[in-house]
Amino acid sequence: MIKVCLADNFPVVHFGVKSYFKDHSDISIAANVGSFLMIRDILLTKEIDILILDLELEGLSSIFEVKSLLKDFPKTKIIIFSGLSEQIYAPNAIKAGVAGYVHKKEKLETLGQSIIKVHQGKIIMNETVKKNLALIAKQSKSERLYRKLSNREVEVLRYLSGGKKNHEIAEILGLNEKTISTYKLRLLTKLNVTNLVDLVNKAKSLEIV
């Protein structure tokens, strides 16, 4: 039996997922948590094969925290189950070490199939994301720099788009305010805009927010 922990903000998601897998022959929802801080306690006290994680989970501010979790609990594989854009977030999540990315618009049947495949050692992502990763790998360094945003840049852009000020983002991510300003300048350059309003609009067009 594959033991799963679901980490999500919303009780309705917990109820739906738990109900769907209640009588599943291969998958058991062994734990449910509503914040990122609760995950470590669960992984320290229970054997969890797969962690189903929403990137917008309360207490989760950076993909680097997910990377740290994978390092500390190497036996537990992570599947991102989120409403955030796969094209933007899945490549960075896969690079960070997660084993799969399933968008919340997918059926729970797809999530179940993904859990089984990940448990078998496979990496799960849709064909569009695979093609994007392959394209990025073929590009020159300068092309990648322009076209591909780093994990931190995506995070900073997301918080800027949410109305956060530089000092607030610095506090959330545990970085210097000057560093956030540098990321902001990089984003303006990479996305070919000159001000914050256009930057936010570009983020929306890319489905980053």
The pLDDT tens digits of the residues spanning 142-177 come to 444 335 688 888 899 989 999 999 999 999 999 999
What is the rounded average pLDDT for all residues in the chain? 88
One domain, residues 85 and 183: no
The pLDDT tens digits of the residues spanning 32-64 come to 999 999 999 999 999 999 999 999 999 998 888
- 4-8, 165-169, 198-202, range with the lowest pLDDT: 198-202
One domain, residues 131 and 165: no
* Single residue among 102, 137, 172 that ends a domain in this structure: 137
Percent of the chain with pLDDT over 90: 65
| Residue 18 pLDDT > 60 | yes
Residue 144 included in any domain? no
One domain, residues 114 and 41: yes
Phi/psi at 3 (5° precision):
-90, 125
DSSP string, 40-62: HHHHHHS--SEEEE-TT-TT---
Residue 180 included in any domain? yes
Name the more confident of 141 and 104. Answer: 104
CATH code, domain with 191: 1.10.10.10
- Average of per-residue pLDDT across 184-205: 87
Q: Say if residues 147 and 139 touch (Cβ distance below 8 Å).
A: yes
Residue 42 included in any domain? yes
Where in the sequence is the domain holding 111, given as residue range(s)?
2-137
SS3 93: helix
One domain, residues 53 and 86: yes
Query: Global pTM?
Result: 0.74
Residue 59 included in any domain? yes
| Residue 133 pLDDT > 80 | no
Q: Say if residues 82 and 54 touch (Cβ distance below 8 Å).
A: yes
Predicted local confidence at residue 204, as pLDDT: 81
One domain, residues 38 and 124: yes
One domain, residues 122 and 26: yes
Residue 142 included in any domain? no
**Total of domains in the chain:** 2
- The alpha helices in the chain, defined as continuous H runs, are 11-20, 37-45, 63-72, 86-96, 108-119, 127-138, 141-147, 151-161, 166-173, 177-190, 196-205
* Residue 16 identity: G
One domain, residues 16 and 80: yes
Predicted local confidence at residue 130, as pLDDT: 67
Residues 62 and 106: their CA atoms lie apart, in Å, by 24
| Residue 181 pLDDT > 70 | yes
Split at pLDDT 50, 70, 90, the class of 141 is very low
Residue 145 included in any domain? no
One domain, residues 109 and 29: yes
- Average of per-residue pLDDT across 15-24: 96
One domain, residues 94 and 64: yes
Split at pLDDT 50, 70, 90, the class of 182 is very high
One domain, residues 126 and 157: no
